[in-house]
Amino acid sequence: MKIVVLDGYTLNPGDLTWKDLETLGRCTVYDRTPAELTVERANGAEIVLTNKTVLSADIIGRLEQLQYIGVLATGYNIVDVEAARKRGIPVANVPTYGTESVAQMVFAHLLNLSQHVAHHAETVRAGRWSACPDFCYWDTPLIELQGLTMGIIGLGRIGRAVARLARAFGMKVIAYDVTTPSPLPEGCKMMELDDIFRRADVVSLHCPLTPQTDCLVNKERLALMKPTAFLINTSRGPLIDEQALAEALNDGKIAGAGLDVVVTEPPVPDNPLLKAKNCYITPHIAWATRAARKRLLQVSVQNIATFLDGRPQNVVNGK
Ligand code: NAI
């Protein structure tokens, strides 16, 4: 069995091991694969694993030996799953591996916006505290989360984990979802979408990117937010109209933003959010704690093992 990993680097930059995968066949792992080399590298493999390398209908059609596609992620829009299905090739993904890590990142951003630990630590290192006439100083408003209202949009796996952490900080929790989950997380109140923007001190996005959620955070909704409110996005960049958010931040219409995702990744140098006021961007790393990547790799290997046993799991293109 020949196994090719087209772009293994972000999953395993060297701190995990491919050895469990190697027990299942002859493995070749590429860090990254440019589009023009996909067919050449995947040719002859029965099993192909991809994270973000596109497997279009045309590419799938040219891989004669291909029997299985594994996506090293949850989102599988980079694979033409229908073309694979027509050829009887199962496409399997990893539906959940990073819920707690992503929820933790929401609070990493929120605590950064609330107390600016890195900024204050850097100024202390630069000598500010040693030269300070008082026993303390701070450069930004310092904000206590207890009693504030967390507004969650998309109360699925990650949204619920965020609700739980918010409650642990003593926050009130309000949420909007297209379906009302049952049971509701303790202390969580469902509201209309616009009411979340009006009432929340923190709006955190956890819905998937769909035609309905594209630009869900637009100029009009940003205008509903309190001038003291923060926006956190660890979901998908296109949920936000980036120009409108940059203007809202620069004009002081909202107090700050913490973003792990942007519309185009990596961001184009003139993305207006890169220089927007009180806007903190991390490079799509909420998923990437070692614990979460280890789980992702384990489930990807299990997916192949179950396929080889004739009872494939996590298949996204079944009949
Ligand atoms: P999930 O499928 O468990 O939850 C999504 C929730 O959004 C569901 O409750 C669904 O009903 C709701 N929803 C769907 N359409 C909606 C709409 N129009 N308005 C409001 N709610 C809507 O997904 P999970 O695991 O919680 O992940 C959420 C998102 O987080 C993913 O779609 C993905 O984009 C993002 N993500 C980001 C990562 C990162 O590294 N930054 C890692 C993993 C996921």
Return the best residue to mutate from 11, 51, 74 for the ligand 1 pocket (most ligand atoms within 8 A of CB): 74
Is 109 a catalytic site residue? no
In the prediction, which pLDDT does 202 show? 99
% residues pLDDT > 70 (the chain): 100
SS3 199: helix
Residue 201 Cα, ligand 1 centroid: separation in angstroms? 21
Strand partners, 48: 4, 69
| Residues 204, 151 contacting (CB under 8 angstroms) | yes
Q: Which of 160, 206, 221, 236 is catalytic?
A: 236
Q: Which CATH class is domain 2-97+290-308?
A: alpha beta
Residue closest by Cα to atom 8 of ligand 1: 156
CB atoms within 10 A of CB 130: 7
Is the shortest distance between the CB of 236 and ligand 1 below 6 Å? yes
| Rounded Cα–Cα distance for residues 15 and 8 (Å) | 12
Model confidence at 20, in pLDDT bands (50, 70, 90)? very high
Mean pLDDT value across the chain: 97
Model confidence at 181, in pLDDT bands (50, 70, 90)? confident
| Rounded Cα–Cα distance for residues 208 and 156 (Å) | 10
User: Cis link prior to 141 (omega < 30° from 0)?
Assistant: no
Is 40 a catalytic site residue? no
Residue found by looking up tokens 């590429």 in the block: 30
Residue closest by Cα to atom 31 of ligand 1: 208
Is 236 a catalytic site residue? yes
Is the shortest distance between the CB of 284 and ligand 1 below 6 Å? yes
Return the CATH architecture of domain 99-281.
Answer: 3-Layer(aba) Sandwich (3.40)
Strand partners, 231: 203, 257
% residues pLDDT > 90 (the chain): 98
In the prediction, which pLDDT does 166 show? 98
2-97+290-308 against 99-281: fold identical: yes
Strands (E), the chain: 2-5, 26-29, 47-50, 68-71, 91-92, 149-153, 172-176, 188-190, 202-205, 230-233, 256-259, 279-281
Q: What is the pLDDT of residues 49-92, one digit of tens each?
A: 999 999 999 999 999 999 999 999 998 989 999 999 999 999 99
Q: What is the pLDDT of residues 261-310, one digit of tens each?
A: 999 999 999 999 999 999 999 999 999 999 999 999 999 999 999 999 99
Residue ranges of domains in the chain: 2-97+290-308, 99-281
In the prediction, which pLDDT does 319 show? 66
Residue closest by Cα to atom 30 of ligand 1: 235
